Structure 1
Amino acid sequence: MSKQQIQIFDTTLRDGEQVPGCKLNTDQKIIIAQQLDLLGVDVIEAGFPISSPGDFKSVQAVSEVVQNATVCGLTRAVRKDIETAAEALKKAKKPRIHTGIGTSDSHIKHKFKSTRQEIIERAFEAVRYAKTFVEDVEFYAEDAGRTENEYLARVCEAAIKGGATVLNIPDTTGYCLPSEYGAKIKYLKENVKGIEKAILSCHCHNDLGLATANSIEGAIHGARQIECTINGIGERAGNTALEEVVMILKQHPYLDLHTNVQTQLLYETSQMVSKHMGIYTQPNKAIVGSNAFAHSSGIHQDGVIKNRETYEIIDPKSVGVTESAIVLTARSGRAALAYRARKVGYELTKLQLDEVYENFLNFADRKKEIADDDIHEIIETSNIFQELSA
């Protein structure tokens, strides 16, 4: 059985940019969009055109430069929104309008002061109107995670009748458990009339730290698009992290799912987004954090030096990291010290290593981390230095 592709919908430039203080100008959006296109994502959500003149301009500019990916603009289920998005996307090689409306009882009652039937009608009309501008229309059912499944299926059926090519099922508040979200996708796959005409898409938020798990569970149960951001940035606690879902699918081939992402560019892309958005990526961030391939425990270091796969399930080079890092601290053992000493030009015998190691521990107790310059000092202040330099 051949693997099925999971389309990667990147919303770094739209949902990701909603992080307070992370506003990008048009030039920055162009740079990141070109990198995302090179990375191999299938869809780039470039912005929310009606939200501001700047966002309209950015969506226009991204549409002009992207060569391979579909370029998408977000709208509400409002005619003016849809018209504005269509205008911004005119020069895109593959344009997509992303329109939708809230479907949970909370949204229907408090946000729209409407009824379930009226929401179904608005969903249908929004998709049908968007379809008059572009062939590719994605519909989002905002707060689908808290929407009752039977009603959600009716909304999806209306969107398909309107011409939707993609159905976005957002866990907008990040509330679902993976089993619940997977069951929701499965229910829609099995109960929505005409579902074969559309792709189900996962759009998960990370309020409870479950965005990646929910997206993978959704893909396992029939979704064929995952919406995500570089470094998992986004509203509140963020979105599904692109680098995480891509590498999970790559490292678990038995799922028979794959993406077209060029994983060797993941670290480079992560660094670029972090730089332009001015947002710090936590060191222990999976895949792209500075500690993702760093080892400081003596037991781990010894295992990695002997065989990288002892403690690493991913080859650093596969995500664009040059090599694993052996970080010297007071927790490090002799094997790590000998390894790092060799890197800076010292080949120590076992007896020499034993003596240098005692000096190393004294240094390490005073410093959080031992640098290459410290290694020279440690060895040169040891009794064996004269022996080594003779």
Structure 2
Amino acid sequence: MTTATQPPIADAKSPIVIFDTTLRDGEQCPGATMTFEDKLEVAALLDAMGVDIIEAGFPIASEGDFEAVSAIAKATKRATIAGLARAIEGDIARCGEAVRHAVSPRIHTFVSTSPIHLAHQMNKSQEQVLEIISRTVTQARNLVGDVEWSAMDATRTPLDYLCRCVEAAIKAGATTINLPDTVGYAVPAEYEAMFRNVRERVPNADKAVFSVHCHDDLGLAMANSLAGVAGGARQIECTINGLGERAGNAALEEVVMAIKTRPDALHYSSGIDATMLTRASKLVSAVTSFPVQYNKAIVGRNAFAHESGIHQDGMLKNASTYEIMTPESVGVAKTSLVMGKHSGRHAFKEKLKDMGYVLGDNALQDAFTRFKDLADKKKIVYDEDIEALVDDEIGHKNERITLASLAVIAGTTGPQSAEIALDVDGALKTFKAEGNGPVDAIFNAIVTLVPHNAVLDLYQVHAVTRGTDAQAEVSVRLVEGEKQVTARGADPDTLVASARAYIAALNKLMVKRAKLRPDTLAS
């Protein structure tokens, strides 16, 4: 083999081709199968956000996969549509049929090259594999003008033999050469060196685009992808949310935002609309029923959330102290200050201000003390918890309704009824009502005694502890126009807990009706 002189790799802003394989490699993740309609929806979004190449599936795998790839090829307006095919004549023919209607069709064919694969999976010699490469790549090129060839398990393939395979594939007509880290084995320095060496040693290397495809078995998929680019690759194969076999693939959103955020170190560009990343993440998570881990980079729930008091204080002074990109840049509405036991007084005050509460110093300190007590008991303190901390104080001082007594008749014979006595503004009122079940009867009686137009938006019961004698905790949410209140009631009797929760919500609603905001607590 002769040695080639390679042209310079990149200018200051070398474009990177984004090859998304969510619909193919991502769907191979156990349990992540998508329906026909799901695939079309995901493909449409990938096309809209600027993905260059969409690997739509493995047409030979099933009739459903063939139909999905064909439909995506027909429907996609801009992106190249690729189908995957083994280095088998039947696979390649089927793939060519599936992608032929695309604006820009591609056949992506692959064959193993590593000694361990040749010996234990293919039972082929190196020379036999070289012949297979030449024959099948030629077949694919006769069907479409754009052929990608992959050396499966490239990172465990001897360099000399890998170069021979690459040279044969390009000679047969491959326009893209993918050298995947199929088993997530490589480390960045050796992956970069592999690309650099192959590009320098293969005579016709300048006639093809080189591609990376990295798995995350050692948590190095993203680092290896960028290392491969540093070695001369100009296509990155990735998936939304890093979905893929075993530990997954390099995540598209991480690739895009690394390039966008660090132009000083990564002199590349991509055509992806980054503001659509969160939307894409949520869609793929929904259609595959695979949740995104909370601390997932870029699109995780905590990616723009801060709980540490020091971090929150810095964020309130200048967001760039702890955020290297804006949430809006990836399609997230805003930064979230998660209130918990690590939050400081400054963040708590700002949170109250955002919620419409302005407290005097004494009231703020009282509320903050109660907040810390609650945070010691709960992992996350939600906005409604904080609202309750302050509104409850007013509610207790201005509590207009209290439960005096409750008697309920329930069972299979019916009708279910409830007789309730309430102290309303100091006057004892009693009423007996029927309902579609005991809880409905209780709420009907309360509405009669305290008329209102609020809608019951939530009724939820759970046991505080185990066993049949567990205390029941009931949550009730009432919505009246723009006003929304949530309250809880607890009692060993679930029906009593339900009445207490509903009454507590009514008391809060009356506070809001009277516009008694927490600033009235300031002294």
Aligned pairs for 1:125-204 within 5 A: 125-204=135-214
Aligned pairs for 1:213-252 within 5 A: 213-252=223-262
Counterpart in the other structure of 1:347:
358
1:377, 1:112 → 2: CA distance? 65
* Count of aligned pairs: 390
Q: Is the 8 A contact 2:359 2:519 kept in 1?
A: no
SS in 1 for 2:143: coil
Report which stretch shifted further, 123-132 or 361-370.
Answer: 361-370
Q: What letter matches 1:288 in structure 2?
A: V
Aligned pairs for 1:39-118 within 5 A: 39-118=49-128
Q: Is the 8 A contact 1:100 1:126 kept in 2?
A: no
Counterpart in the other structure of 2:133:
123
Q: Is the 8 A contact 1:49 1:55 kept in 2?
A: yes
TM-score when scaled to structure 2?
0.73
Q: Is the 8 A contact 1:63 1:89 kept in 2?
A: yes
Q: CA deviation at 1:359?
A: 1.7
Deviation track 1:171-213 (CA, whole Å, cap 9, x = no partner) reads 0000001111111111112111111100000000011111010
TM-score when scaled to structure 1?
0.97
Q: CA deviation at 1:373?
A: 2.0
SS in 2 for 1:171: coil
SS in 2 for 1:365: helix
SS in 2 for 1:173: coil
Q: Does 2:303 align with 1:292?
A: yes
Q: CA deviation at 1:379?
A: 2.3
2:103, 2:236 → 1: CA distance? 21
Q: What letter matches 1:15 in structure 2?
A: D
1:168, 1:349 → 2: CA distance? 64
Counterpart in the other structure of 2:343:
332
Deviation track 1:115-143 (CA, whole Å, cap 9, x = no partner) reads 11111111111111100000000000000
Q: CA deviation at 1:28?
A: 0.9
- Which residue, out of 281, 292, 295, partners 1:281? 292
Larger Cα Rg: Structure 1 or Structure 2? Answer: 2
SS in 1 for 2:111: strand
SS in 1 for 2:179: strand
Q: CA deviation at 1:356?
A: 2.2
Pick 1 or 2: higher relative contact order, CA cutoff 8 A, min separation 6: 1
2:132, 2:360 → 1: CA distance? 77
Structure 1 gaps of 5+ residues are: none
Counterpart in the other structure of 1:314:
325
More helix by share: 1
1:238, 1:160 → 2: CA distance? 29
Q: Is the 8 A contact 1:356 1:382 kept in 2?
A: no
Q: Does 2:372 align with 1:372?
A: no
Report which stretch shifted further, 112-121 or 311-320.
Answer: 112-121
Q: Is the 8 A contact 2:175 2:207 kept in 1?
A: yes
Deviation track 1:54-110 (CA, whole Å, cap 9, x = no partner) reads 110011010011111000000011111111011111211100000120000011111
Q: Is the 8 A contact 2:113 2:151 kept in 1?
A: yes
Report which stretch shifted further, 245-254 or 316-325.
Answer: 245-254
Counterpart in the other structure of 1:388:
521
SS in 1 for 2:177: strand
Counterpart in the other structure of 1:14:
24
- Which residue, out of 305, 329, 333, partners 2:316? 305
After the TM superposition, which parts of structure 1 deviate over 6 Å for at least 4 consecutive aligned residues?
Answer: none
Structure 2 gaps of 5+ residues are: 1-10, 395-516
1:37, 1:377 → 2: CA distance? 45
Q: Is the 8 A contact 2:363 2:522 kept in 1?
A: no
Q: What letter matches 2:271 in structure 1?
A: N
Q: Does 2:269 align with 1:258?
A: yes
1:219, 1:348 → 2: CA distance? 54
- Which residue, out of 350, 363, 372, partners 1:361? 372
Q: Is the 8 A contact 2:363 2:521 kept in 1?
A: no
